[in-house]
A and B are shown apart, each in its own frame.
Chain A
């Protein structure tokens, strides 16, 4: 018999709403908006209310997929990263760094977004950096 509430921050957008994930006997069973959070004051949108559903969804991607001969195929992270790095290098070698663009996300932390822009600007050498809210 185990029931606990885990305070966390919504990953759906950049607002940063706080809620409790309800965990009963190791399974996520619900979401409760945090009343004392100064951001959302006990309120959530429909996505936040249902956040517990995607975590354990069988439809969730758990491994990288690479299109091989037109078919999406599960591959290791090593293979996925190697292919991506090689393609990116090939594109920048042939067409220059500005032929690439980077899209950061409201769903990750500030620090991760910082790292992405740093990598785009200082690592790859382009200012083509934007965020998913522009899509």
Chain B
């Protein structure tokens, strides 16, 4: 699988189509995000699979935004899974990165990872390695919806109260790019308390994820308290798709109906 990726990126370097490739490498026994600047370096490329597939995924989209902004004349190759592709699409919609500044190099996720993520589309539009498996249904969302409303509210309040307010869910998020964050606005949410003002803190973030969250799951993986954030935002995404005809991440040319400035 990795060889196909290396071959494709080597072609891009040789054709001078990219100045650098944003991917993963392995150093000191750890998987690290890395900017490859020569084709020779690619022999150290890894896909983040250690004991299990996709164990070490990083917000590569976010690194692209930093680099593309600092170097507007350059084009970058980017390692993308299905989720990264959805992230890219959303970043295009929000004018955070220009389409001409990125060449995605896709990989399809194996069934094990797709299942663990309950991913709706575990492969990007175009991919050079892996075999596409079908999208999964959101079983965890269904489990929670099966609870009655009081039980469901108690469940979420209990989860939210575990929050230590590290802001990791926001900091790792590839589509959290606001310069001013509502979560730090004292007039909206009482700051300086732990646990945060709940459910205001987590529901504010959930609402802000409408038309943004592309279900990569990095927030849940970063949460030291183990709050099932991905399940919460999956529901947000489901509402956006079903009720607002906006399948977030699958659209790259229009903002969601909730986000159009009037």
Q: Does B71 count as interface, using CB distance less than 8 angstroms? A: yes
Cα–Cα, bound, A35→B49 (Å)? 11
When distances are taken between beta carbons in the complex, the residues of chain A under 8 Å from B167 are 46, 49
Shortest Cβ distance from residue B153 to the other chain A in the assembled complex, whole angstroms = 27
Give bound CA distance, A29 to B67, whole Å: 11
- In angstroms, how far is the closest chain A Cβ from the Cβ of B12? 16
Known: A20-B33, A49-B171. A35 touches B57 (CB 8 A): yes
* B222: chain A residues within 8 A (beta carbon): 33, 42-44
Whole-angstrom distance from the CB of B78 to the nearest CB of chain A? 12
CB distance from A120 to the nearest CB of B (A): 34
Q: Which size class do B's interface residues fall under?
A: 35 or more
The answer for the CA separation of A34 and B166 in the assembled complex, in Å, is 16
**Which of B37, B56, B57, B63 lies in contact with A22, CB distance below 8 A?**
B63
**Assembly CA distance A63 to B70 (angstroms):** 32
Give the CA-CA distance A40 to B35 in the complex, in Å: 24
Check A44 against B166 for contact (C-beta < 8 Å).
Answer: yes
Closest to B33 in A: A5
The residues of B that contact A3 with a CB separation of less than 8 Å are: 20, 22, 35, 63, 66-67
Closest-by-CB residue of A relative to B164 is A45
CB distance from A35 to the nearest CB of B (A): 4
Q: Contacts A1-B74, A7-B27: A45 and B224 contacting too (C-beta < 8 A)?
A: yes
With beta carbons under 8 angstroms apart, the residue of A30, A34, A44 that contacts B168 is A44
Total A residues in contact with B, Cβ cutoff 8 Å: 28
Most chain A CB neighbours (cut-off 10 Å) among B55, B57, B70: B70
A-B contact count (CB 8 A): 84
A100 and B248 CA atoms in complex are apart in Å by 63
The answer to whether B166 touches A45, judged by C-beta atoms less than 8 angstroms apart, is yes
- The answer on a CB contact under 8 Å between B20 and A1 is yes
Scan residues 18-55 of chain B and give those whose CB is less than 8 A from a CB of chain A. Answer: 19-20, 22, 27-35, 37, 48, 50, 55
CB distance from B29 to the nearest CB of A (A): 7
Residue contact A49 to B168, C-beta cutoff 8 Å: yes
Q: Which of A1, A36, A37, A40 contacts B19 (CB 8 A)?
A: A1
B223 contacts partner chain A, Cβ-Cβ < 8 Å: yes
Hey, what's the 0/1 contact readout for B154-192 against A, CB within 8 Å counting as 1? Answer: 000000000011111001100000000000000000000
A32 touches B70 (CB 8 A): no
Residues in A neighbouring B74, C-beta threshold 8 A: 1
Smallest beta-carbon distance B163→chain A, Å = 11
B56 touches A36 (CB 8 A): yes
**A35 CA to B48 CA in the complex, in Å?**
10
A78 within 8 A of B: no
| A4 and B67 alpha carbons, distance in the complex (Å) | 11
Task: Pick from B29, B67, B165: contact of A24, CB below 8 A.
Answer: B67
- Nearest residue in A to B74 (C-beta to C-beta)? A1
Contacts of B70 in A (CB 8 A): 1, 24-25
Query: Can you list 23 pairs linking A and B with CB atoms under 8 Å apart?
Result: A1-B20, A1-B35, A1-B37, A3-B20, A3-B63, A22-B63, A22-B66, A32-B33, A34-B30, A35-B31, A35-B48, A35-B58, A36-B30, A36-B50, A37-B30, A40-B224, A42-B221, A42-B222, A44-B166, A44-B222, A44-B224, A46-B164, A48-B166
Query: 19 other contacts beyond A3-B20, A18-B30, with CB at 8 A cut-off?
Result: A1-B35, A2-B35, A3-B22, A3-B35, A4-B34, A30-B66, A32-B33, A32-B58, A32-B172, A35-B31, A35-B57, A36-B50, A43-B223, A44-B166, A44-B168, A44-B222, A45-B224, A46-B165, A46-B167
6 smallest CB-CB distances across A and B, nearest first, come from A3-B35, A43-B224, A35-B56, A46-B166, A36-B30, A5-B32
